[in-house]
Amino acid sequence: MLIEKDDATLLVVDIQEKLVPAVLDADGMVARCHWLIAAAVDLGLPVVFSEQYPQGLGGTLLQLLEAAPQADVVEKLHFSCVAGQCLPDGLMSRRQVIVCGMETHVCVLQTVMELLQAGKQVFVVADAVSSRGELNREYGLQRMREAGAVLVTREMVLFECLRVSGSALFKQMSKRYLVGDQP
């Protein structure tokens, strides 16, 4: 199963001001998520940001919001975006959901499990999720994979959405996302 650009949405889970400093490789994770969000916007994928109790944990990092200014931002108290019933109809009407964010073993995991239960094809971007500890990250990814989520990397998302080289879009995207130092 490949990602279908016209039937997928990028869901960015809880990359919030007060949570980010607590996770592993916070700067690297934020940089990789920024890369993914910017690429998704350039590819024409809808982007949705979720926020867990933003009154206490702060909002989504501004640099990520700026990368997708048209994105929906939804708030929740449930760890799962699905249980929180906050996901916009546009996301729920699409068959595929690409997920990045934090924490891998809590909000990402519970959201992914319930998206799978709702019949969605779910792709978890393994190099764009994080937790406070490596064991939690590792077992969160393992559990999602065993439940039927597909683990991918940012470049897999990019190449699957592009599908073909030689086009103007491929040339533009390769210059921006594949050349030089990448996070």
Catalytic residues: 14, 76, 107
Q: Which two tokens stand for residue 20?
A: 């980010």
CB 59 within 8 A of CB 32: no
Give CA–CA dist 20/129, Å, rounded.
Answer: 11
Which residues face 109 on adjacent strands?
A: none
* Residue 101 bridge partners (DSSP): 13, 129
Q: Check whether the bond before 114 is cis (ω within 30° of 0).
A: no
Does residue 39 sit in helix, strand or coil?
Answer: helix
* Secondary structure (DSSP) of 105-129: IIIIHHHHHHHHHTT-EEEEEEEEE
Are the beta carbons of 140 and 131 closer than 8 angstroms? yes
Torsion of CA 43, 63, 123, 48, to 10 degrees: -80
Encoding tokens for residue 148?
């039927």
